Amino acid sequence: MLGTAHDVPAASECRACHGGRKSFVLGYSAVQLGYAALPGSETDRRALGYLHANCGHCHNQDRPAAASSRCYNPENELDFWLRSSRLHSVTDTPAYQSGRGVAFEPGAPDESRMIELMSDRGFLRQMPPLGTEAVDDHGLAKVRSWIASLH
């Protein structure tokens, strides 16, 4: 909370994000490096890429069981991690399949919980839950445009 857009969480909070992947490493994935492999329009690719990189390390069905406490432990079906086997179409992606009707309402970004959480900052009312002080307006715009384009 030094007036910057991002913070480095305390060492005791590392597993909150890094515990979401089997390797504990956050960084580039094969899907991110093969951007042209993502399905859909430019709007689709930008939003799916954003969700994969910023939300997928916590919101994924391969997330290991919590070995210690986390600031946020998603106990729901949301899965924003992109897998090469699920990139045939936008509607085939885990992000669309698990998020539709739960995190977002197709065609209605202002009625979507995802947009609400991405648009705010504060304890228990922001996504991502750690490491940010300011809303990512650029990322928010990508996801908002994507949701608005869905039917």
CA distances from 85 to 23, 57, 95 (A): 20, 18, 13
Q: So where are the chain's domains?
A: 11-149
pLDDT band at 69 (very low <50, low <70, confident <90, very high): very low
Please say if the pLDDT value at position 51 is more than 90: yes
Q: What's the pTM?
A: 0.81
How confident is the prediction for the chain on average, in pLDDT? 82
Q: Model confidence over 23-49: pLDDT tens digits?
A: 666 666 767 676 568 889 999 999 999
DSSP assignment of 34-99 equals: TGGGS-S-HHHHHHHHHHHHHHTTTS-TTPPPPSS--S----SS------GGG-SSGGGSHHHHHH
Distance between CA atoms of residues 99 and 74, nearest Å: 13
Nearest alpha carbon to residue 142 among 72, 67, 60, 51: 51
Number of Cβ within 10 Å of residue 44's Cβ equals 21
The pLDDT of residue 91 is above 80:
yes
Structure token digits, residue 64: 């290991």
The predicted model gives 9-23 an average pLDDT of 70
